[in-house]
Amino acid sequence: MKKFKIEPVDRTIEPDIIRKIDNLTKPKGSLGMLEKLAHKICLIQQTLSPELKNPHNVLFAADHGILEEGVSISPKEVTWQQLSHFSKGGAGINFLCEQHRVNLVLVDAGVDYDIPSGHGIIDMKVRRGTRNFLHGSAMTEEEMNLCIERGAEIVDNIYKTTGCNIISFGEMGSGNTSPSAIWMHLFTGIPLEKCIGAGAGLDNAGIRHKYEVLSEAVANFKEQDTVVAKIAWFGGYEMVMALGGMLKAAELGMIILVDGFIMTSVILAASKLYPYIMEYAVFGHQGDESGHKLMLEAMGVRALLHLDLRLGEGSGAVCAYPIIESAVRMINRMDSFQSVKVTKYF
């Protein structure tokens, strides 16, 4: 498996960061989460004057064999149809990226369709969809490693060619709340039933069926009890490729802006391999998928927004990007009490 060098952030600069934030012309702590964000970003970038460069949202798409068990109301063809739709510019993630000046990168990680070239979609296809993890491993260890390498390659190329230092990840894959729920269960210990939600819109009977299928799948897990085995047995190609991208982003010292339920499960899995990745992560959005709030709480993190979104695609992360901008503007643009000769009033 590809190795990454992910170091904890150097906290030598921390007293200077706190001093600068506390001496801006405001009562101490009065800008709340903006102050905490600025603090974190300064630590990641090792500077008292942080900046955001060329934000990107990388959207990985792939299909899932578990869809054969009726765990989602979305048919498989929706994956490639939506990926094609993204390339034409008319989907949810498109208007959000356009509004917030975020570059959108589309990647075919394992869609069960041969998408014609010329659509601006990067072909990193590992296979036309994972296998059905009810009956065996969704992917081989070789395929898992390939996904990690290709996700890292995408991020490394973005970093080197654009200077991007803040990145989010989105996904498209019918049925991918199922592997995400299992990862959540396996990596937090939260009962599986509490990890499972409606996905694209299941009714109560559908959710119950989904629970029964996933319970049986977990019971059928026959590999060694390791993080790598759990990632390969239950993961999706788009999820593992995003995992590789996140690990590379942390290695490069980039800010990782985490989206909703699926991507939170991905960084959760990544943190079991490289715990220090969490020091580079900002959680953009608490989604409406059942279990997301519990997963965030289990990880000890708080999301910036809660807009009842459950679209995926990186939509919640991109919506949160302007708040990151505000935190950076705060520490860079606000005057200090000393500079404008205002008496501290707290």
Hey, which residues are catalytic here?
Answer: 313
Q: Exposed, middle or buried by CB within 10 Å (0-12, 13-18, 19+), for 139? A: buried
Answer yes or no: are the C-beta atoms of 83 and 106 closer than 8 Å.
yes
- Rounded distance, CA 205 to CA 199, Å? 13
H-helix or E-strand spanning residue 281: strand 281-283
What is each CA distance from 247 to 212, 237, 255, 283, in whole angstroms? 33, 15, 11, 16
Which among 135, 213, 136, 225 has a CA at the least distance from the CA of 187? 225
How many Å apart are CA 311 and CA 296, to the nearest integer?
18
The H or E element containing residue 107 is: strand 103-110
Per-position b or e across 55-65, b if 16+ CB within 10 A of its CB: bbbbbbbbbbb
**What is the token pair recorded at 294?**
């519990």
| CA-angle at 320, arms to 318 and 325, nearest 5° | 100
Residue from 298, 289, 302 nearest 268 by CA: 298
**Whole-angstrom distance, CA of residue 9 vs CA of residue 45:** 9
DSSP 204-263: HHHHHHHHHHHHHHHHT--S-S-HHHHHHHH--HHHHHHHHHHHHHHHTT-EEEE-SHHH
Is residue 210 within 8 A of residue 196, CB to CB? The reply is: yes
